[in-house]
Amino acid sequence: MTAIHIIVFLPLLAALIAGLGQRFIGALAAKTITTLGLFIAAFLSWPIFIGFLNGTETAYVQPVMTWVQSGDLTFDWELRVDALTAIMLVVITSVSALVHLYSWGYMEEDPDQPRFFAYLSLFTFAMLMLVTANNLVQMFFGWEGVGLASYLLIGFWYKKPSANAAAIKAFVVNRVGDLGFMLGIFGIFWLFGTVSIPEILAAAPDKVGSSIGFLGLRVDTMSLLCILLFIGAMGKSAQLGLHTWLPDAMEGPTPVSALIHAATMVTAGVFMVCRLSPLFETSQFALDVVTIVGATTALFAATVGLVQTDIKRVIAYSTCSQLGYMFFAAGTGAYGAAMFHLFTHAFFKALLFLGAGSVIHAMHHEQDMRYYGGLRKHIPLTFWAMMAGTLAITGVGILGVGGFAGFYSKDAIIEAAFASESTYHMYGFAIGVIAALLTSFYSWRLMFLTFFGKPRWEQSEHIQHAVHEHHEHAHDAHAHDTSSDGTAGYHPHESPWPMLIPLALLTIGAVFAGFVFRHAFIYAEAGAAFWANSTLYFNTHLMHAMHEVPLWVKLSSTVAMLIGLATAYFMYQRSNDAPKRLATTFAPIYRFFLNKWYFDELYNFLFVRPAFWFGRLFWKQGDIGIIDRFGPNGSAALVSFGSKLAVRMQSGYLYTYALVMLLGLVIAVSWMMVRA
- Which range, 21-25, 43-47, 69-73, 373-377, is most confident? 43-47
pLDDT computed for residue 529 by the predictor: 92
| DSSP three-state, residue 435 | helix
For the segment 368-411, what is each residue's pLDDT rounded down to a tens digit? 898 898 899 999 999 999 999 999 999 999 988 889 999 999 99
The pTM of this model reads: 0.89
Average pLDDT of the chain is: 89
pLDDT(667) > 70: yes
pLDDT computed for residue 480 by the predictor: 44
562-567: long-range pairs with CB below 8 Å, 24+: 562/440, 563/437, 563/440, 564/394, 564/436, 564/437, 564/438, 564/439, 564/440, 564/441, 564/443, 564/444, 565/394, 565/440, 565/441, 565/444, 567/441
User: Which amino acid is residue 116, in one-letter code?
Assistant: F
pLDDT computed for residue 485 by the predictor: 47
- The span from the CA of 181 to the CA of 204, in Å, is 18
For the segment 52-99, what is each residue's pLDDT rounded down to a tens digit? 999 889 999 999 988 888 888 888 899 999 999 999 999 999 999 999
pLDDT computed for residue 674 by the predictor: 86
More confident residue, 262 or 532: 532
- The span from the CA of 172 to the CA of 178, in Å, is 10
Sign of CA dihedral 162, 164, 170, 176: negative
For the segment 563-572, what is each residue's pLDDT rounded down to a tens digit? 999 999 999 9
- pLDDT band for position 290 (cuts 50, 70, 90): very high
Confirm if 405 and 513 have CB atoms less than 8 A apart.
Answer: yes
Inter-axis angle of helices 380-393 and 335-362, nearest 10: 160
Q: Give the Å distances, CA to CA, from 263 to 124, 148, 348, 390, 511.
A: 11, 17, 9, 16, 16
For the segment 131-190, what is each residue's pLDDT rounded down to a tens digit? 999 999 999 999 999 999 999 999 998 888 889 999 999 999 999 999 999 999 999 999
- The span from the CA of 331 to the CA of 427, in Å, is 11
pLDDT computed for residue 341 by the predictor: 95
Q: Once rounded to an integer, what is the mean pLDDT over residues 610-637?
A: 81
pLDDT computed for residue 48 by the predictor: 95
pLDDT computed for residue 612 by the predictor: 87
Confirm if 31 and 17 have CB atoms less than 8 A apart.
Answer: no
Of 142, 36, 162, which is closest to residue 80 (Cα–Cα)?
142
- The span from the CA of 584 to the CA of 578, in Å, is 10
pLDDT(23) > 90: no
Question: CA-based diameter of the chain, in Å?
Answer: 118
For the segment 476-508, what is each residue's pLDDT rounded down to a tens digit? 544 444 444 444 556 788 889 999 999 999 999
Residue 599, Cα to own-chain centre: how many angstroms?
Answer: 18
Percentage of the chain beyond pLDDT 70 is 95
pLDDT(510) > 80: yes
